[in-house]
Amino acid sequence: MTRKEFLKSLGIGAAFVVTTSCFQSCTKEIIGPVDFSLDLDSASNLKLKTNGEYIVTNNCVVARTIDGKYVACTIVCSHEQRKEVIYDNVNNIYACTAHGAEFDLAGKGLNKNGSKGLTIYNTELSADGKTLRVYS
């Protein structure tokens, strides 16, 4: 049996299996609703007391911008679904370290790889300034 005959004998079923697995690996990672609070006095969150710093927690990038505002986004880049988004304090943007996608703090893509945008979350600082809530 030739290669062509073999492939033809597999039929539509095999083609479906191959393309289905490709589509599943290429689809957007689904991230559910976000709602958590961070104790800003906790050692693991102390970076958030300094302008221009960020942490990664609960699949989110939580940052205190260079001008002192709290912002948060998903860690999953919309370009290729890689968990490599960071806060870039030099340019005051979000950036993906994998392929250079860039996003403004509202999630709008700033270049071709960032054209699909980025999921942004709300932040709310408690009245006493000790707790930061991040939510969808």
C-alpha dihedral, 34 to 100 to 110 to 69, nearest 10°: 50
Say how many domains are in the chain.
1
Per residue, the 3-state secondary structure of 9-68, as one string, reads HHHHHHHHHHHHHHHHHHCCCCCCCCEEEEECCCHHHHHHHCCCEEEEECCEEEEECCCC
Residue 40 belongs to some domain of the structure: yes
Residue 3 belongs to some domain of the structure: no
Domain extent, residue 44, equals: 35-135
pLDDT at 61: 98
pLDDT per residue over 89-110, tens digit each? Answer: 999 999 999 999 999 999 999 9
Query: pLDDT below 70 — which residues of the chain?
Result: 1-31
pLDDT at 1: 57
Residue 24 belongs to some domain of the structure: no
pLDDT at 13: 47
Supply the CATH number for residue 81's domain.
2.102.10.10
Residue 8 belongs to some domain of the structure: no
Helix (H, G, I), strand (E, B) or coil at 131: strand
pLDDT per residue over 119-136, tens digit each? Answer: 999 999 999 999 999 999
**pTM of the full predicted structure?**
0.77
pLDDT at 10: 55
Residue 26 belongs to some domain of the structure: no
Residue 1 belongs to some domain of the structure: no
pLDDT at 81: 87
Residue 19 belongs to some domain of the structure: no
Helix (H, G, I), strand (E, B) or coil at 109: strand
Residue 15 belongs to some domain of the structure: no
- Owner of token pair 């479906």: 16
